[in-house]
Amino acid sequence: MFSQGWLIVGSLLLILGLAARSGGPFLVGLVVLLGAGTSYLSHRYCLHRVEFRRSFVPRRAFHGEEITLTLEVTNRKPLPLAWLEVTDELPEEVVPSRGRIIPSLRQRRQHLVHLFSLRWYERVRRRVTITCRARGYFPLGPARLRSGDLFGLTSQGRTLESTDRLIVYPKIVPLEALGIPALHPIGDHRAPRPLLEDPTRTIGVRDYQYTDPIRRVHWKATARIGRLQTRQYEATTTHRIAVLLNMDTLGEYAEYRGFIRPLLELNIMVAASFAAWAEEQGIPVGLFANGYLPEGLRRVRLAPALGSVHLTAILEALAKVFSTPVMPLGDLMALEAGALPWGTTAVVITAVVDAPLLAGIARLQEAGHGVVMVLVGDRVGDPRLGIPTHRVSGEAGWRAMDEIRLV
């Protein structure tokens, strides 16, 4: 910056040139004074009435898709800006197509740097295509503006704390690409009793049979008739799926021991693919996970339902869910077993099998629910529980994620 000394030097040269009637010192002094004045004004007012706005479309994307990020700067004053540097903080999971990238001191963050030059009252927009390389709920920003004088001798900066949120849904792939049979991934529907029963609609009683669960016993009718009576429920063809997602990738409730990111991302991709398959088949589907959401919920809990809006809610939850488990999945199963509609098929997606998980599966079966297990990764062994079990190997999962292209 031109300091007070430059002002003194310029003034002396100007006076000397006038006194000696010499054009050389006079012109040099005039240039020094003009440069000092310009530097002072630029330093003091360079960021005055300068606005920055970030926007992107679409606001939500799938893993692997591209979005357009627009950076807009406006100079709302008569003083032009010779240069304006905009440094916008982005997650490492998005890759810009242009602009200078520098690392950030914050973990898994990076800075996108752009240089602008603006005339008085000018607005400049710059568009950048960014590729979403991972699912997640990402903050874009804050941004830092920096500008200064024409000579680059002085500068000042200002940080804009406002941020925008980008939601990247997990990738959805066909079940057969994961090695899961697409026609009957939850078992053959041609069961001996094709109609499910709705336990909320009792239509009568009958004599108790040894195969009836004890929860179906109608105790009042038993006392009146003198022998065990069982409720008869109205038949219904409604089938429901509850996707139970295990965020624990280390076993034994690894809340404080971190996680294995590849296994976790494969778990989430399989859960999203199952939910999309169920929606396509017209089957109500819900999501239950032992992770938590940014909104402060203790766990993910979306009851089975139909519709594209509900599927979007499931995908959004899978994008936002944190990697830290809040409880063993087996405990979550025990909590939800009684709340799920009778006859719901629970699809358990997990990369580990431990004692709490096995206890939770047994509790689901006791409550009258079918269970299908999807083992993710190559580290987990088949517990051989006598239930439909599928395996998604790490190689098959990542190959599906890499090869499936979104249209």
Nearest-angstrom CA–CA distance, 331 and 60: 33
Q: Is the peptide bond preceding residue 58 cis, with omega within 30 degrees of 0?
A: yes
Q: What is the model's pLDDT at position 33?
A: 60
- Predicted confidence band of residue 18 (pLDDT cuts 50, 70, 90): low
DSSP state for residue 50 in the 8-state scheme: E
Say which CATH topology domain 50-169 has: Immunoglobulin-like (2.60.40)
- Predicted confidence band of residue 5 (pLDDT cuts 50, 70, 90): low
What are the beta bridge partners of residue 338?
none
Q: What is the model's pLDDT at position 36?
A: 66
pLDDT digits (tens, 9 = 90+) for 48-94: 999 999 999 999 999 999 999 999 999 999 988 989 999 999 999 99
215 phi, psi to nearest 5 deg: -70, -15
The answer for residues whose C-beta is within 8 angstroms of residue 405's C-beta and 6 or more apart is 64
Mean pLDDT for 321-344 is: 91
Domain ranges of the chain: 4-45, 50-169, 175-189+239-403, 196-236
Mean pLDDT for 3-10 is: 58
- Predicted confidence band of residue 287 (pLDDT cuts 50, 70, 90): very high
Helix (H, G, I), strand (E, B) or coil at 168: strand
**Torsion-angle region of 296 (φ positive above 0: left; ψ -120 to 50: alpha; else: beta):** left
- Residue 385, token pair as written in the block: 């529980």
Q: What mean pLDDT, rounded, does the chain reach? A: 84
Taking the whole predicted model, whether its pTM rises above 0.75 is answered as yes
Nearest-angstrom CA–CA distance, 137 and 236: 39
Mean pLDDT for 369-389 is: 90
The answer for residues whose C-beta is within 8 angstroms of residue 35's C-beta and 6 or more apart is 2, 6, 151
Name which of 128-142, 238-252, 361-375 the model is least confident about: 238-252
Helix 23-45 and helix 4-20: axis angle, to 10°? 150
- Residue 381, token pair as written in the block: 């062994």
Higher pLDDT: 406 or 323? It is: 323
Nearest-angstrom CA–CA distance, 69 and 86: 14
Q: What is the model's pLDDT at position 190?
A: 38
Place of tokens 């008869």: 232
Domain 175-189+239-403 has CATH 3.40.50.410: yes
Helix (H, G, I), strand (E, B) or coil at 165: strand
pLDDT > 90 in the chain, percent: 53
pLDDT > 70 in the chain, percent: 80
Strands 143-148 vs 81-91: parallel, antiparallel or unpaired: antiparallel
- Predicted confidence band of residue 182 (pLDDT cuts 50, 70, 90): low
Q: What is the model's pLDDT at position 224?
A: 85
pLDDT digits (tens, 9 = 90+) for 183-211: 567 664 433 333 345 555 566 788 888 77
Nearest-angstrom CA–CA distance, 287 and 291: 11
- The answer to whether 287 and 273 have CB atoms below 8 angstroms apart is no
